[in-house]
Amino acid sequence: AKRSPSAPHHHHHHHHQMLHLTTTQDVIQQGKCLCGEYIRARLKRSGLLNRKILQRLRNSIVPDGASAGVGSVGGGMMLIAGGGGAVVREAFPILNGMGIELERMHPRLYTNVSRQISNEPWGELTEPDTVGYLLHIVAKDLFKTGVTWGKVISLFAIAGGLAVDCVRQDHTDYLQQLIEGTTDVIEEDLAGWLVERGGWLGLQDHVYPQPAEITLTGWLTITIITLALLYLVSLFLKLIGSNYLNSEPIVAATTAASSTIGSTSSSISS
């Protein structure tokens, strides 16, 4: 059902009802569905989706024995309908749109993911559990400083990139582990945070109120600036330690480092 812009009050009320009804279990199950949907859409964008893979994805997110109907959203087939379907149907287009945006901004970051994070020479995924493990490592690193919607979307983009790797390396059988792995991350690192924000529909509040808010690049930029600052601090400590009496090198290092930071931030904003 399309929401008419003339009825904001009704929507708001509905959203608050959702706030109280969302449980951790809902958030995890819906997250699993969203992951399946995201991977489906990502594979489709890369021209890698076929019937067999579609069936595999559907089996991965629908509990055994439950035959779910298939809904269609914006012309693209959704894997599931019913159950948490309503939330998934509303949240998915937002999630997918922001994921596409993130992939567009950082194409190298979300392709050949397995090569970037595994120790194998060609990023070859060998054991079925590798793919879940790789995702787990990245997620632990991503969320150790807290959760933001930007990072949540990034997690899906990484899972999407890994899914592409799996299919390109003829390991469609790994897709299920990838979805399970993502679901575990949602359960361990995100469920509490999501419930506090009213579940996946909290994405709407994230997107609609301030479209100007720097959301996705925001945390990347912050990360890079933080790293640059840490680097500066370590330089200072080194210099102060070694040249306690001689003050000139500190000045030189400061100008060098600040020009580095300048070029870093300008390359981000470009």
Long-range contacts of 52-60 (CB under 8 A, 24+ apart): 52/172, 53/167, 53/172, 53/175, 54/79, 56/172, 56/173, 56/175, 56/176, 57/175, 57/179, 59/176, 60/36, 60/175, 60/176, 60/179, 60/180
CB 70 within 8 A of CB 40: no
131 with 220, same domain: the answer is no
Residue 80 lies in a domain: yes
CA gap 157, 99 in Å, rounded: 6
Supply the CATH number for residue 141's domain: 1.10.437.10
Point out the domain boundary residue: 190, 207, 224: 207
| pLDDT at residue 191 in the model | 96
Q: Are 26 and 142 in contact (CB under 8 A)?
A: no
Alpha helices in the chain (DSSP H): 8-21, 24-45, 51-61, 85-105, 113-117, 128-143, 149-168, 175-185, 191-196, 202-207, 216-242, 248-269
Where in the sequence is the domain holding 39, given as residue range(s)? 23-207
Q: Which of the 8 DSSP states describes residue 7?
A: -
**Interatomic CA distance for residues 73 and 76, integer angstroms:** 5
Give the pLDDT of residue 138. Answer: 86
Q: Centre a 10 Å sphere on the Cβ of residue 111 and count the other Cβ atoms it contains.
A: 15
Q: Are residues 161 and 234 in the same domain?
A: no
If asked whether residues 71 and 137 sit together in one domain, one would say yes
Q: Residue 264: what pLDDT? A: 43
Q: Let me know whether 121 and 221 are in one domain.
A: no
269 in any annotated domain: no
Note down pLDDT in tens along the chain; length 270 residues: 544 444 444 444 444 444 457 899 999 999 999 999 999 999 999 999 999 999 999 998 876 544 444 443 433 456 654 445 889 999 999 999 999 998 888 888 888 777 777 666 656 777 766 888 888 888 988 899 999 999 999 999 999 999 998 999 898 989 999 999 999 999 999 999 999 999 999 998 887 654 444 555 665 666 666 666 666 666 666 665 554 445 454 444 444 544 544 444 444 444
User: What whole-number distance in Å separates Cα of residue 152 and Cα of residue 139?
Assistant: 9
Asked if residue 228 and residue 193 are part of one domain, the reply reads no
**pLDDT of amino acid 236:** 61
pLDDT at position 1 is 54
Is 7 contained in some domain? no
Burial of 270 (0-12, 13-18, 19+ CB in 10 A): exposed
Does residue 55 lie within any of the structural domains? yes
Residues 135 and 190 in one domain: yes
The whole-number pLDDT of residue 100 equals 92
Q: What is the maximal distance between C-alpha atoms in the chain? A: 76
**Closest C-alpha to 123, from 181, 169, 71, 66:** 169
The whole-number pLDDT of residue 241 equals 59
Q: What's residue 31's pLDDT?
A: 96
- Count the domains in the chain: 2
Asked if 37 and 88 touch (Cβ cutoff 8 Å), the reply is: yes
Residues 66 and 195 in one domain: yes
Same domain, 46 and 156: yes
Is 2 contained in some domain?
no
Whether residue 93 is found in the same domain as residue 126: yes
Q: State whether 108 and 242 are in the same domain.
A: no
- Residue 8 is assigned to a structural domain of this protein: no
Does 143 share its domain with 227? no
Q: Which residues of 204-230 are buried (b: 16+ CB within 10 A; e: fewer)?
A: eebbeeeeeeebbeebbeeeeeeebee
130 and 224 part of one domain: no
Residue 191 near residue 27 (C-beta atoms within 8 A) = yes
Last residue of a domain, one of 185, 207, 229: 207
